[in-house]
Amino acid sequence: MELLILIAFDSTQQALRAEMLLEYADIEIDTRPTPKEVTAGCALSIDISASDFEKADRIIRQEQVEIKGYYCKDNGIYRLYQPYER
Protein backbone atom coordinates (compact mmCIF):
# COMPACT_ATOMS: atom_id res chain seq x y z
CA MET A 1 0.00 0.00 0.00
CA GLU A 2 1.41 3.36 -1.02
CA LEU A 3 1.92 6.12 1.52
CA LEU A 4 -0.69 8.88 1.30
CA ILE A 5 0.14 12.48 2.12
CA LEU A 6 -2.65 14.65 3.53
CA ILE A 7 -2.64 18.35 2.68
CA ALA A 8 -4.46 20.43 5.31
CA PHE A 9 -5.64 24.00 4.82
CA ASP A 10 -6.72 26.96 6.94
CA SER A 11 -9.44 28.03 4.52
CA THR A 12 -11.93 26.37 2.21
CA GLN A 13 -10.99 28.83 -0.55
CA GLN A 14 -7.37 27.59 -0.51
CA ALA A 15 -8.48 23.94 -0.41
CA LEU A 16 -10.71 24.39 -3.46
CA ARG A 17 -7.98 26.31 -5.27
CA ALA A 18 -5.46 23.53 -4.60
CA GLU A 19 -8.00 20.94 -5.73
CA MET A 20 -8.43 22.72 -9.06
CA LEU A 21 -4.68 23.20 -9.61
CA LEU A 22 -3.76 19.61 -8.74
CA GLU A 23 -6.53 18.13 -10.90
CA TYR A 24 -5.44 20.36 -13.79
CA ALA A 25 -1.90 18.95 -13.37
CA ASP A 26 -3.32 15.39 -13.63
CA ILE A 27 -2.46 14.52 -10.03
CA GLU A 28 -4.85 11.99 -8.59
CA ILE A 29 -6.38 13.45 -5.45
CA ASP A 30 -9.02 12.56 -2.90
CA THR A 31 -10.79 15.49 -1.27
CA ARG A 32 -12.06 14.49 2.14
CA PRO A 33 -12.92 15.81 5.59
CA THR A 34 -9.95 16.90 7.67
CA PRO A 35 -9.26 14.27 10.35
CA LYS A 36 -9.96 15.37 13.91
CA GLU A 37 -6.32 14.70 14.83
CA VAL A 38 -5.14 17.39 12.41
CA THR A 39 -5.76 20.90 13.69
CA ALA A 40 -6.69 23.10 10.75
CA GLY A 41 -9.09 25.95 10.08
CA CYS A 42 -10.73 24.15 7.19
CA ALA A 43 -12.90 21.05 7.18
CA LEU A 44 -11.53 19.95 3.78
CA SER A 45 -8.23 18.21 3.14
CA ILE A 46 -6.67 16.54 0.12
CA ASP A 47 -4.94 13.16 -0.02
CA ILE A 48 -2.23 12.58 -2.62
CA SER A 49 0.13 9.68 -3.14
CA ALA A 50 3.69 10.10 -1.90
CA SER A 51 4.90 9.56 -5.48
CA ASP A 52 3.09 12.79 -6.49
CA PHE A 53 4.34 14.81 -3.52
CA GLU A 54 7.19 16.69 -5.23
CA LYS A 55 5.03 17.71 -8.19
CA ALA A 56 2.14 18.75 -5.95
CA ASP A 57 4.38 20.67 -3.56
CA ARG A 58 6.02 22.51 -6.47
CA ILE A 59 2.60 23.57 -7.80
CA ILE A 60 1.39 24.65 -4.36
CA ARG A 61 4.50 26.77 -3.80
CA GLN A 62 4.54 28.26 -7.32
CA GLU A 63 0.88 29.21 -7.10
CA GLN A 64 1.27 30.42 -3.48
CA VAL A 65 -1.52 28.26 -2.13
CA GLU A 66 -1.68 28.72 1.63
CA ILE A 67 -1.60 25.39 3.44
CA LYS A 68 -1.60 24.38 7.09
CA GLY A 69 0.85 21.58 6.37
CA TYR A 70 1.49 18.12 4.99
CA TYR A 71 0.71 15.09 7.14
CA CYS A 72 1.12 11.34 6.89
CA LYS A 73 -0.42 8.59 8.99
CA ASP A 74 2.13 6.67 11.03
CA ASN A 75 0.85 3.81 13.21
CA GLY A 76 -2.64 5.32 13.18
CA ILE A 77 -1.47 8.82 14.16
CA TYR A 78 -1.18 11.79 11.80
CA ARG A 79 2.28 13.37 11.93
CA LEU A 80 3.67 16.42 10.18
CA TYR A 81 5.35 15.32 6.94
CA GLN A 82 8.53 17.25 6.20
CA PRO A 83 10.77 15.50 3.70
CA TYR A 84 12.66 18.79 3.31
CA GLU A 85 12.32 22.36 4.52
CA ARG A 86 9.80 24.49 2.60
Q: Among 66, 19, 4, 76, which Cα is nearest to 41's? A: 66
What is the pTM (predicted TM-score) of this model?
Answer: 0.90
Q: What is the mean pLDDT of the chain?
A: 92
Q: pLDDT tens, 32-67?
A: 999 988 987 899 999 999 999 999 999 999 999 999
Mean pLDDT of 22-29: 98
Give the whole-angstrom CA distance, residue 58 versus residue 74.
Answer: 24
Class of 4-80 in CATH: alpha beta
